[in-house]
């Protein structure tokens, strides 16, 4: 059964919307309407404001740690790194064995990972 959507809650609408408008088209997503994005396989992202008084995102707290996408090539990862840093966003490259990984925190700290893996390797161990 395929995953069909993810809902991400944000605390700063403008900065989060700007971040995802730079990132998601590069990952193959189109904006269907404001704050609703989808790709050709039918995966949707929905963005909504977080409720006032809720706790902020905690990287190592219970819940989602990061979003991981598989890149078609190392060049794709390097190009995305340039695109996001040129746009003023934090983006860190990491080499893990033969894997090239790019980690980008959104304005609330939720990390998006885009990685290219060596032939035959799994994205997680």
CB 111 within 8 Å of CB 94: no
Over residues 74-80, mean pLDDT: 98
Residue 122 main-chain phi, psi, to 5 deg: -90, 155
CA pair distance 82, 87, nearest whole angstrom = 8
Domains with residue ranges and CATH for the chain: 5-50+65-116 (3.10.180.10)
pLDDT tens digits for 12-56? 999 999 999 999 999 999 999 999 999 999 999 999 999 998 888
**Contact between 61 and 100 (Cβ < 8 Å):** no
pLDDT at 90 exceeding the cut of 90: yes
Q: Could you tell me where the DSSP H helices lie in the chain?
A: 13-23, 74-86
Say what the pLDDT of residue 56 is. 83
Residue 60: pLDDT band with limits 50, 70, 90: confident
């Amino acid at each position: 059964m395929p995953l069909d959507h993810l809902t991400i809650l944000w605390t700063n609408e403008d900065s989060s919307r700007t971040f995802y408008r730079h990132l998601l088209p590069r990952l193959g997503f189109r904006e269907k309407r404001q704050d609703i994005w989808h790709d050709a396989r039918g995966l949707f992202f929905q963005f909504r404001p977080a409720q006032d008084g809720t706790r902020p995102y905690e990287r190592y707290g219970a819940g989602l740690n990061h979003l991981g996408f598989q890149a078609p090539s190392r060049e794709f990862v390097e190009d995305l790194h340039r695109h996001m840093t040129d746009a003023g966003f934090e983006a860190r490259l990491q080499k893990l064995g033969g894997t090239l990984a790019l980690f980008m925190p959104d304005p609330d700290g939720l990390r998006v990972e885009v990685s290219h893996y060596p032939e035959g390797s799994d994205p997680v161990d």
